[in-house]
Amino acid sequence: MTVPAEDRAPQALRDDSLLTVDGLALRVHVNARRRRFALTVEADAALTLHAPEGRSESDAEDFVRAHRTWLMSRRALRERVRPLSPPKRLVEGEVFRYLGRIYRLALVGDEPGNDRVRLAAGRLIMSHELAEDAARGRVALVDWYCRTGHAWVTGRLQPWAARMSVPEPMVDVRDLGSRWGTYRPEEDGREPGRMSLGWPLFQLPMHLIDYVIAHELAHVRVPGHDARFWRLVRQALPEYKERRMELDDLGRRMWMGEIV
Ligand SMILES: [Zn+2]
């Protein structure tokens, strides 16, 4: 027997989940000792919602909406003292994002010939040798984003293509400058063509990468951004407008590859 919708307990907030309210993305921290909601704007302008245990998502959304003006002005202040896409330093503990989660850099003793960055036990591992050479360190990091991003998106593409009744294009992950994704048909104009995704995209949470995937897949059918294009995107992703707003907002804060 199914429980009628109105009798179901409201969705409770989960620790370390991502909450989106009117295009603002907030990381949720649930703390049993906390009595009421609180908001903080982190040094990198990321937003955190601190919540007591057992509160619902809709309570949290009401709280964020009531404090939106404060949040926006507080964040604008942070951004005045810190650039939107701050450069990274190749030092122990530096923060990198992957699929919306934070991973800290760990520097390890040199394994000869190891020019690769890898993820192990929740840390991004790099050799001291690489870290001391900013140019090589950067190449290794970008290469890591390209490899792991490509492996992730390979499995992600097929369900979206099926949902949109679009043939699955080839996909690669590389440097696209400030663009999140592009789509090019075959030379002879036929499907399925090739989708390229920019490596910085993989710093973002999955639901925003999905938006870019759906967007580029819609281009397999429709080249420009006319009404027919957005209709196709909306069919696959009814909340696409909110995702696009969130991508604009969060995307501006991502690391674009600068090392100091
Ligand atoms: Zn487009």
User: How close is the Cα of 214 to the center of ligand 1, in Å?
Assistant: 10
Within a domain: 87: no
Within a domain: 33: yes
> Same domain, yes or no, for 60 and 149?
no
- The reported pLDDT for the residue numbered 112 is 65
- The reported pLDDT for the residue numbered 252 is 84
> Same domain, yes or no, for 123 and 219?
yes
- The reported pLDDT for the residue numbered 188 is 75
Q: Which domain holds residue 49?
A: 5-81
- The reported pLDDT for the residue numbered 2 is 46
> Same domain, yes or no, for 123 and 56?
no
User: How close is the Cα of 120 to the center of ligand 1, in Å?
Assistant: 35
> Same domain, yes or no, for 123 and 149?
yes
Q: Are 133 and 239 in contact (CB under 8 A)?
A: no
> Same domain, yes or no, for 70 and 186?
no
Angle at which helices 134-163 and 206-221 cross, to 10°: 60
> Same domain, yes or no, for 73 and 150?
no
User: How close is the Cα of 249 to the center of ligand 1, in Å?
Assistant: 17
Q: Domain count of the chain?
A: 2
> How is residue 56 annotated by DSSP?
B
User: How close is the Cα of 108 to the center of ligand 1, in Å?
Assistant: 41
User: How close is the Cα of 229 to the center of ligand 1, in Å?
Assistant: 9
User: How close is the Cα of 184 to the center of ligand 1, in Å?
Assistant: 11
- The reported pLDDT for the residue numbered 39 is 94
Rounded CA-CA distance 45/234 in Å is 30
User: How close is the Cα of 221 to the center of ligand 1, in Å?
Assistant: 11
User: How close is the Cα of 180 to the center of ligand 1, in Å?
Assistant: 10
User: How close is the Cα of 101 to the center of ligand 1, in Å?
Assistant: 26
- The reported pLDDT for the residue numbered 9 is 57
> Same domain, yes or no, for 144 and 224?
yes
Neighbours of 3 (CB within 10 A): 8
- The reported pLDDT for the residue numbered 115 is 85
Q: What would the two tokens of residue 260 be?
A: 């100091």
Convert the pLDDT of each residue in 181-206 to its tens digit: 999 998 776 768 999 999 999 999 99
> Same domain, yes or no, for 247 and 131?
yes
- The reported pLDDT for the residue numbered 159 is 95
- The reported pLDDT for the residue numbered 3 is 45
User: How close is the Cα of 183 to the center of ligand 1, in Å?
Assistant: 8
Collect the ranges in the chain with pLDDT lower than 50.
Answer: 1-8
- The reported pLDDT for the residue numbered 6 is 45
Of 81, 115, 130, the position where a domain reaches its end is 81
